[in-house]
Amino acid sequence: LEALCHCGEQLRTVLLVGHNPGISEFACQLIDSDQPVSLTTAGLCQIVLPGVPWRALGPGMARTFAILR
C-alpha cells in the first residue's frame, strides 16, 4: 500500500506486479475481505479504487475486485 501512496496524482491507472503470498494479501487488504484471494501463478486481478489521492488510500477502499486470469 505504501508504494501506491507515492504515486503521482496525475496517474489514474497503475499496474502493480508482485509475488505471492504478498500480492494476494495486498488484494485482500484493499477489498477488506476475510476470505483469501487466490491468485495463481501469472494471475491477474483488477481492483477499482475510488477517485481519491493515492496517498489517501487505505484498507477496504476498493470499489470492485475481479480475478481476470
3-state secondary structure of 44: coil
User: Which pLDDT score, from 0 to 100, does residue 36 have?
Assistant: 82
User: Which pLDDT score, from 0 to 100, does residue 45 have?
Assistant: 92
User: Which pLDDT score, from 0 to 100, does residue 46 have?
Assistant: 93
Phi-psi region of 21 (alpha: psi -120 to 50; beta: other; left: phi over 0): alpha
Dihedral sign from CA coordinates of 9, 15, 17, 20: positive
pLDDT digits (tens, 9 = 90+) for 21-64: 988 998 999 888 888 888 888 999 999 988 888 889 889 999 89
3-state secondary structure of 59: coil
Type and span of the H or E element at 4? helix 2-5
User: Which pLDDT score, from 0 to 100, does residue 5 have?
Assistant: 86
**Whole-structure pTM over 0.85, yes or no?**
no
C-alpha cell at 52: 481519491
